Structure 1
Amino acid sequence: MSDLSLWGIFLAVSVGTFVMRLSFVELHGRWRVPPLLSRALAYVPASVLAALVLPAVVYPNGQGELLLSNPQIPAALVAAGVAWKTRSTVLTLALGMATLWALKFSGL
């Protein structure tokens, strides 16, 4: 691939990204979001976070099989329980990491 075609691809992708982002800014006040779509969009951040975190917890280092000796799974379960009960981000992070470190240092 030549340098000119590579720069053409970069330019096309950047213009496409700019147009997509500009369309949301320009249509913000003119387009009314339906209530069903608005309710569904409220779950997008949680689902994206779960999609990013779960594979890293279940399959560390990119391995392709589920290992029961993986200390990240019980630590994630503890963190999920703490988050569900307390709704505290700081406490969830602290207890989840403490559990992970305790399991790693104990050799379990």
Structure 2
Amino acid sequence: MTAWSSTQIWLAIILIGVATYSIRLSFIYFFGRIDEVPERVQHVLRYVPAAVLAALVVPAVVTIEPTVSETVLDDRVIAATIAAIVAWKTEDVFWTIGIGMGALWAIRFGPGLVGI
């Protein structure tokens, strides 16, 4: 149970929805009114895909384990390290995701693949 009433919950859902819609609409509205995106904004927007990927991946990789050896030798950390090296060398998001997922898959299921 929660201390909030159903009316308060629905009000919060509606307010969050309106805020999200307003933020998205503001970008469409403002960028629709200008002829060219300013150079400074283009420079900042270049980093959005990497920031989003990091925001999605880091919480799945970083865990709180009782010992350092269990954390460092975790299959997710090893695959993420391989993916980070690929990202550094290739600077390609698709190669990074593909190699990272392939490494994770190989680490997790590799020994069982020998019998296939």
TM-score between both structures, scaled by the size of structure 1: 0.64
Amino acid at match of 1:89: F
Query: Cα RMSD between the aligned structures?
Result: 3.1
Report the counterpart of residue 55 of structure 1 in structure 2: 59
Q: Structure 1, unaligned stretches of length 5 or more?
A: none
Cα distance change on mapping 1:53 and 1:37 into 2, 3 Å: same
Amino acid at match of 2:33: R
Higher relative contact order (CA 8 A, sep 6+): 1
CA distance in 2, matches of 1:19, 1:11: 12
Task: Percent identity, please.
Answer: 37
Amino acid at match of 2:8: S
Shift of 1:97: 4.1
1:19 aligns with 2:22: yes
TM-score between both structures, scaled by the size of structure 2: 0.61
Cα distance change on mapping 1:82 and 1:23 into 2, 3 Å: closer
Q: Structure 2, unaligned stretches of length 5 or more?
A: 112-116
Shift of 1:87: 4.4
Report the counterpart of residue 72 of structure 1 in structure 2: 76
Shift of 1:35: 1.0
